[in-house]
Amino acid sequence: MQEKDPLIFNYLDIKEEEGLNLRLEPPVAGYAALFDPPVTLKKVSLELNFTVGLDSIFLEGKASAELEMICARCAEPIVRTFEDSFDEVYPDTVEYIDTREVIRETVGVLAPIKVLCSDSCKGRCLVCGINRNKLVCACRSEKANAFDGLKGLKLPDQDKPGK
């Protein structure tokens, strides 16, 4: 057991102190592999609050991650912070409380599937590719109609028998 790991706690120490509250900023390297490019992890922050019960210790935690991502519309890099909470109960039959896995799971799902630099992001021009948030182009992009592909379609004559 890695007693020196800052995310592994001695059960008896927490029980004797009647709880434990702490804030940590673990090294990013331990969590960076959880995110696929183009997402880059910049910072991880943790809040851990241990409460002692009669025959268990209850952990309430919050994980936040500062992530550099790419806007889904304009493809510009942006940095956002996302957070989520978690909780676990540890029975008095354990000697150590290992929080690494629950923290890893929580941090790993913080990145949203799609992120925008702003709700009003105009994206890129489909014709010339400029960022329409920064410049105005003279391109005319005609709105595509989902049914345009059916215009030349010839249907079989259904009034004739045998068809």
Q: Is the pLDDT of residue 142 over 80?
A: no
Q: What is the mean pLDDT of the segment spanning 82-87? A: 97
What is the predicted pLDDT for the residue at 97?
A: 96
Q: Is the pLDDT of residue 101 over 70?
A: yes
- What is each CA distance from 49 to 55, 88, 93, in whole angstroms? 17, 11, 20
- Number of Cβ within a 10 Å radius of residue 129: 11
What is the predicted pLDDT for the residue at 133?
A: 95
Name the pLDDT band for 1 (thresholds 50, 70, 90). very low
In a domain, 44, yes or no: yes
In a domain, 118, yes or no: no
Q: What percent of the chain has pLDDT over 90?
A: 77
Tally of domains in the chain = 1
Those residues whose C-beta lies under 8 Å from the C-beta of residue 117, and which sit 6 or more positions away, are 71, 73, 74, 76, 78, 133
Rounded mean pLDDT of the chain?
90
In a domain, 53, yes or no: yes
Nearest-angstrom CA–CA distance, 159 and 48: 74
What is the predicted pLDDT for the residue at 156?
A: 76
Query: What's the token pair of residue 156?
Result: 């079989």
What is the predicted pLDDT for the residue at 143?
A: 65
Window from 10-14, 145-149, 150-154 with minimum mean pLDDT: 145-149
In a domain, 92, yes or no: yes
In a domain, 130, yes or no: no
In a domain, 147, yes or no: no
Residue 29 belongs to what domain range?
A: 8-108
What is the predicted pLDDT for the residue at 152?
A: 74
In a domain, 146, yes or no: no
Whether the CB-CB separation of 78 and 117 falls below 8 Å is answered with yes
Name the pLDDT band for 72 (thresholds 50, 70, 90). very high
Q: Is the pLDDT of residue 140 over 90?
A: no
In a domain, 40, yes or no: yes
Candidates 134, 137, 117; CA nearest to 126 is 137
